[in-house]
Structure 1
Amino acid sequence: MVDPTSDLGEDVDEDDAPECATCGTKIVQSPTHRVVTRVEDGRAHHRHFCSEECLADDDGA
């Protein structure tokens, strides 16, 4: 699997692309892609968002 969080987002197939945590849209080569990372119990958890609007609308679940 290609890393969907790479700096450039190149060569990410839609099947491997992350989904927006708010609206469920597949995120492929999007300049508005945002990732929120938190650490719980020593493990990193990532939530992907397709836009600032979806990030702002996130309920944090």
Structure 2
Amino acid sequence: MVDPTSDLGEDIDEADAPSCASCGSKIIQSPTHRVVTWVEDGSVRTQHFCSEECKVAAADEA
């Protein structure tokens, strides 16, 4: 699998691309792609967002 966070998503097939945690859109070659990373129960967790707006919307829902 190609790293979905590499260089704005170049060379990533849509099937392997991350989905926005807020709106569900596939994130491919998006300069507005945001990733939130945290550690939970000893494991690294991530959430991908297609834009700052979706990141803020998800935070508002939490």
TM-score (norm: length of structure 2):
0.89
Query: Secondary structure at 1:37's aligned position in 2?
Result: strand
| Percentage of pairs with the same residue | 68
| C-alpha deviation, 1:41, in angstroms | 1.5
For this pair of structures, how many residues does the alignment match? 59
Counterpart of 2:18, as a letter, is P
Deviations 1:11-57 (A, max 9, x none): 01111000000000000000000000010121100000000100000
Separation in structure 2 between the aligned mates of residue 12 and residue 45 of structure 1, nearest angstrom: 21
Counterpart of 2:4, as a letter, is P
Counterpart of 2:36, as a letter, is V
Contiguous gaps of at least 5 residues in structure 2: none
Separation in structure 2 between the aligned mates of residue 45 and residue 22 of structure 1, nearest angstrom: 16
**Alignment map for 1:21-40 (pairs within 5 Å):** 21-40=21-40
CA RMSD of aligned residues (A): 0.9
